[in-house]
Structure 1
Amino acid sequence: MKRILLRGDNNAQHVQEFLECHPHALRAGESPAANISGAAETVAEELAFGLENRGVAREDMQVRVLTAARTLGIEDVLERNPLQLSGGQTQRVAIAALLALGDAPLLLEHPLQGLDANGRQQVLSAFSTYPHDIMWSTPTRCGADELETATEVIDTGSPMKTVETPTVPWQIEPATLKANLDLYHPRSGQSKRLSPHQQLLTKISLTTSDGEVLVVRGENGSGKTTLLRTLAGLLPTYGGQVTVTGQEVAALRPPERVQRVSLASQHPRYQILTTSVADEVRAGRAADPSYTHALCEAAGLGEELGANPYDLTLSQQQMLATICALTPQPSVLLLDEPSASLNAYDTERLLALIGEFTAHGGNVICASHDEEFIAAIATRQIILSTTIS
């Protein structure tokens, strides 16, 4: 069987050729959440959804669902609501649903995006034994494991250019973030089989200071996104508090809060508010137009100001989300899997932006599985070791 890896982000021609050869291929797009049906209460029902539509016998369906779940290590979330999982867990559920069908070639966009090391190994192992052709794409650097899994590698990226140090007129107020809290995973809209809230981590205590890059690590489902959203004041703390230079984040009005701490999420499409890149950046209410223009140039979006953000590549959307989080000139920048969907050129741009932001007194808290990216930015690391099940 062919296992074709597209390395880069100019894949349209190769995808078209694959579909011409395999018109009945099963597809999963680049956004994990968009691959979930929304019609199932539990992950088990989500994995069975396609099988039910094909009239597969109940006994066979149960076997195929359990086999797919074991293959990708998601047995512990079978009774969870698929719309309430972490990004990496959602990715594995979407792929497992296709593996359960198992009767056609696969065409997958960025299937390793946001996966921890174990999830990555499980997905690549499944690719190696899948009984039909597979084509998948990755916009980022490829690990040796991915290259070894592929029977053919096609480079589709643009030639690398030199990334210049951004000339952004930073006006950052250096600050210290302190957090002492218990963390809960929200369950609104969850399956009725689950309690309203589930305690995730207790007695979290962390402090960051100006110029620091703190990387938060942990398996998929360990609470990295929940922690970042809590630090940003988007989720309640339930106990304890988060302060920036003595001010409690949760007590601040939103315009004041984002000047202290600002978050760029791992799902940039869900943050889009307007119909042009220029308006999207201006929505952050930066006082100085020259500052927002410089941010756009530093992010490689200077020629895309009139473009609809939905028409950008996923890599460009992630860069847009990052500079939108920087627009209010926060003291603390929170980044959730910021490099997961970036091409090589935008990764260099992001590294340059982070370097300049911290050099001017800002501090960064970043959740990531990207070992190379972590090595390039981290001044300190913490590991979250509890996984929701």
Structure 2
Amino acid sequence: MLTLAKKMQHLVDLIVVKSPVSDKEERVRLNHYVWVTFMMLPITLIAGAYHASVRNYALTFLIVLFSAYLVTTLFLIAKTRKTYLLYFVSNVIFTVLMIYLLYHADFDASMILWLFTYPLGTIFLFGNRIGFMWSCVLLAIVMVFFIWVPHVDHAYDLAFKIRFCFSYLAIAFITSWIEYYRHRYQHESEANREALLAEQSLLKEEIHRRTLLEEELHYLAQTDMLTKLYNRRHFLNCAHKEFIRAKRYGYDLAFALLDVDHFKHINDSLGHPVGDVVLQTLGEYCVSQVRDTDIVGRLGGEELAFLLLHVNEEKAKEKMEHLRIALSRLRITYAQGIEPLNITASIGVASITSEVQSFEDLYLRADKKLYEAKSAGRNCVR
């Protein structure tokens, strides 16, 4: 039964999805209508066949008309937005069918029991308010028949009439109550779902914001804000790791220190803002002159450091010499109408040897070579 119900729901969904109606509540009603149609079709076909066999052709005609209308509406669902018209027309035909059954109670008194299906169908289809109203309308018609239609009045005794009316009302009330709470639960569930989706959206935004903030903090933690190079702490961490890796796997590694010549004179004579422009230009230019795999950082003041991977000392000196010459030709513009500034740099280079046991040893060797370059008159590589 569960498998059959799932297959039926799949078929119902295929019909409902073709409807141009976009309102969620209306789609729920449409879903109910298709389900009622599928449940009523076998019942009406069996009832129609039975009444045709007993030659009750008028009732058979009403049943066939009702069944044909239900089948037709399944094809009209995809073409109309006014689906409520389909519901009301089908309900009017169903109401006429129920009244016909009641009118011919003298033919078969048990046919009145079919009226108990009316509140179930109408409340399920129209909702607790409109469905209950239709149920009360039919009950009022039944009471009129009980009082003023003689052959219906004589078909049932007073006790049966009272029991029928109370039973009918009980079914209508219970069905209306169940539909009310189903509708209320559905609305609460939908509201909770929308609130959850909104909360998830806010959470995603917050996660994205925090991710960006973490990335920004990570960038700030390892970057020198003036030159946009690695700061001292991050550069030295990277250099230590690369030194250990180079010693372990036996590949070449060179370390170079660059110091801008007479930088203090630039700050004192032209001002610190000009000195900042020099450092910014120097940082950008140095990054453009080395490989992507090389690491460049600012150790402090006007001193930059280079870690050249898979490069021996001779090749590193050659690279640094090209950089020194390029820097000596670099013209730094720091103000309009003023002659561009020319700078030079002294560079010390050291590489891994068997005598170098730690990165600190490599650093000291490069620093010693830098002082040798300064002592040799600056603007050179040692």
The TM-score range, normalised by the shorter chain, is under 0.3
TM-score, normalisation: structure 2: 0.24
Flag the structure with higher strand content.
1
TM-score, normalisation: structure 1: 0.23
Ranked by relative contact order (alpha carbons within 8 Å, sequence separation 6 or more), the top structure is 1
